[in-house]
Amino acid sequence: MNVSRSLPPIRSRLADRTLWPAVLLLAGVLGLFEWTHLDLVLQDRFFNFATGRWWVDATNPAGRILFYTGPKAVIIGLGVALIALALGPERWRTRLAMARRDLFVALLTLASVPALIGVGKNVTNVFCPSEIRRYGGNVPYVALCSPYPEDDRPATRGHCFPAGHASGGFALLGLAWLRRSRRGWWGGLALGLGVGWAMGLYQMLKGAHYLSHTLVTMLVAWILVLVWRWVLGARREDFTADPAAPRPDGGNARSRV
């Protein structure tokens, strides 16, 4: 690997230092959508009040394949490939200039983001846009952290916050550190954000989530990947040397665990 193309250490360090700012930003996002009606203002644009239909038909098979079942299958396949690389022979990782520790960071992010978001969906008691009366549903709208009126409590619990479907896409942010190159960094970042927002916007356009749901999921994914890097010690590694450069012990900087 060309040293001039390797990821500058400062880029990795700066990214790792965004953990607490991301936590604060998450709190700010929760507060913003709690005290404003931005969710409804945007969601109104996606709903035709005259016909009672959303921009995207949830039953359209092409849309489901492209933005729902298809991405989920690809993400599962990618997870299997990461497991194979992490547990397979060292020569596989050496050839791809990947470290086992970075592979475990990506794997743990891929598994923990959807899991944590799933727990959130089960405890927050928030309903989807299509379920509230404003858009033809049968439950009242309340802000993210607000209680339901005493005389208008839903008979069942909501399971819509944060955005579960988009969590798999945003979990791909863990791939940004797999290849210590500018191309690898920006490619992983673009993949995680691109797939996450494509899946999230699809859900928003068919009335399955609000903008706040997707933003919170994105921030949770970023926070988790940084937490796993801290837990596994990846953020303490020194990448000042060329990742593929030979070392005295015969290996290279990226082959160490």
Band (pLDDT 50/70/90 cuts) for residue 164 is: very high
Give buried/exposed letters for 161-184 (b at 16+ CB in 10 A, else e). Answer: bbbbbbbbbbbbbbbbbbbbbeeb
Coil/strand/helix, residue 142: coil
What CATH class is the domain 26-44+61-147+157-234? mainly alpha
Tell me the backbone φ, ψ of residue 246, rounded to 5 degrees: -65, 145
- The DSSP 8-state label assigned to residue 146 in this structure reads P
What's the pLDDT tens digit per position in 139-153?
Answer: 999 988 889 999 999
Each residue of 177-217: pLDDT tens digit?
998 788 888 999 999 999 999 999 999 999 999 999 999 99
| % of the chain with per-residue pLDDT over 90 | 77
What does pTM read for this prediction? 0.87
The token duo for 100 is 């086992």
pLDDT at 145: 84
Write out the two tokens for 248: 């005295």
Is pLDDT above 60 for 239? no
Do residues 239 and 7 touch, judged by C-beta distance below 8 A? yes
Beta carbons within 10 angstroms of residue 257's beta carbon: 13
Domains in the chain: boundaries:
26-44+61-147+157-234
pLDDT of residue 236: 60
